[in-house]
Amino acid sequence: MSWKSIPGETPIDVSGLKMSGISHRAQLSVAEAENIRKAIIKHLGGPLSRRTAKFDLSWMLNLHREMFGDVWTWAGKTRTTNLNLGVPWLQIQDRMQNLCDDLIFWQKNRPDFVEQAAHLHHRAVQIHPFLNGNGRWSRLLANIWLKLNHQPLTEWPEETIGNTSIIREEYLAAIREADSGNYTPLMELHQRYASTRS
């Protein structure tokens, strides 16, 4: 099985695939979406507390496992190789711990929860701790953070993943702007797609 990567995507290595019978991107997308749906229901479908959403290193890794563990053997395990995106793999644990520590600081010094979510989202993507699924994991992390703090969730359009689209290009451009320290475009996307449901 092989396919051409789309812009902004981590190349997919199928050697860790748990499921048989997947031979193209559409089948993989369906399998991953079903696994992710379970994690979304668990974390966003009911009550949430700081006991169940600890936002420490172990919890963050486990969230990725919950999202992708039915599909990939490496789900929830930090990568042990360098990719075209992300920090060098030897820095992953330290960078993730720094992110956990920064969340505590942001709670006291950045009262705007959309700004906190955008920073969390971007930093998690920037670290890129896993072989794949980093963007989807980062977006769910940010939404769990928003829910934990009683804020509207960001309802990302499906077009942000899987295929090239105008929305995906705008999203990737906002991530690149955040790379250079400008978080405004990413915060604006979070605000544009904020849920109106109570």
Q: What is the pLDDT of residues 131-179, one digit of tens each?
A: 999 999 999 999 999 999 999 999 998 765 556 577 889 999 999 999 9
Q: Which two tokens stand for residue 51?
A: 């006991």
User: What's the rounded Cα separation, in Å, for the pair 79 and 62?
Assistant: 14
Mean pLDDT of 59-81: 98
Instruction: Assess whether pLDDT exceeds 80 at residue 35.
Output: yes
pLDDT confidence of residue 1: 46
Please tell me the predicted confidence (pLDDT) of residue 12: 74
Q: Are 187 and 178 in contact (CB under 8 A)?
A: no
Q: Considering the chain, what is the average pLDDT of its residues?
A: 91
Please give the residue that has the higher pLDDT: either 189 or 166.
189
Three-state DSSP string of the chain = CCCCCCCCCCCCCHHHECCCCCCCHHHHHHHHHHHHHHHHHHHHCCCCCCCCCCCCHHHHHHHHHHHHCCCECCCCCCCCCCCCCCCCHHHHHHHHHHHHHHHHHHHHHCCCHHHHHHHHHHHHHHHCCCCCCHHHHHHHHHHHHHHHCCCCCECCCHHHCCCCCHHHHHHHHHHHHHHCCCCHHHHHHHHHCECCCC
Identify the pLDDT of residue 20. 85
Q: Is the CATH code 1.10.3290.10 the one for domain 20-192? A: yes
- The larger pLDDT score, comparing residue 20 to residue 89, is at 89
Measure the CA–CA gap between 35 and 31, rounded to whole angstroms.
Answer: 6
Q: How far is CA 149 from the centre of its chain?
A: 18
The pLDDT of residue 121 is above 80: yes
What is the value of pTM for the model shown? 0.91
Poorest-pLDDT segment among 5-9, 28-32, 35-39, 134-138 = 5-9
pLDDT for position 180: 97
Of residues 181, 53, 59, 169, the one with CA closest to residue 122? 181
Contact, 67 vs 133, CB < 8 A? yes
CA distance to 49, 54, 65, 80, 83, per residue, from 168 (Å)? 32, 30, 25, 28, 21
Question: If we measure between CA atoms, which residue out of 4, 149, 10, 124 comes closest to residue 72?
Answer: 10
**Which pLDDT belongs to residue 159?**
62
Domain residue spans of the chain:
20-192
Backbone angles phi, psi at 72, to 5 degrees: -120, 140
